[in-house]
Amino acid sequence: DRPKEALEAFDHTLSLNPGDRPALAAKGQILLNLGKIPEAQRVFEDGLILDPNNLEFLGGKAACLADQRHYDDALSLLTVVLQKDPNHYAAHRTKGLCLLRTDHAADAISALEFSL
């Protein structure tokens, strides 16, 4: 099971260096992809304590919030991400999905097209 092996490797790395931002971001993303949303959100929030302006942590937390239907909170974080990096693919994708789920179809299409 590759995701499990990857999580174990990232946990080992983080046990040696708890501040390893790339390992923390990757662990959060794997958890998010596995649908372990509360765990992923905690990882991204831990990352934001270390680095409050890290776009991967902000975008990851936004994706977790969106999966939990906290669309306004997710969109607020995504606004920050996109102000700092207007070409952030994942942020545009998550923004588009949030807008689609909140009946803002035209804006959703625009955001999703940008993410392609």
Say how far apart CA 52 and CA 30 lie, in whole Å: 20
pLDDT at residue 35, rounded to an integer: 96
Q: What CATH number corresponds to the domain at position 21?
A: 1.25.40.10
State the pTM of this model: 0.90
The total number of structural domains in the chain stands at 1
Closest CA relative to residue 107, chosen from 71, 73, 81: 71
- pLDDT digits over 50-63, tens only? 999 999 999 999 99
Q: Find the range with the poorest average confidence among 5-14, 23-32, 100-109.
A: 100-109
Looking at the predicted structure, is the pLDDT value of residue 19 above 80?
yes
- pLDDT digits over 67-113, tens only? 999 999 999 999 999 999 999 999 999 999 999 999 888 888 888 88
Residue 69 CA to its chain's centroid (Å): 14
Q: What is the domain range of residue 46?
A: 2-115
Q: 73 φ, ψ to 5°? A: -65, -40
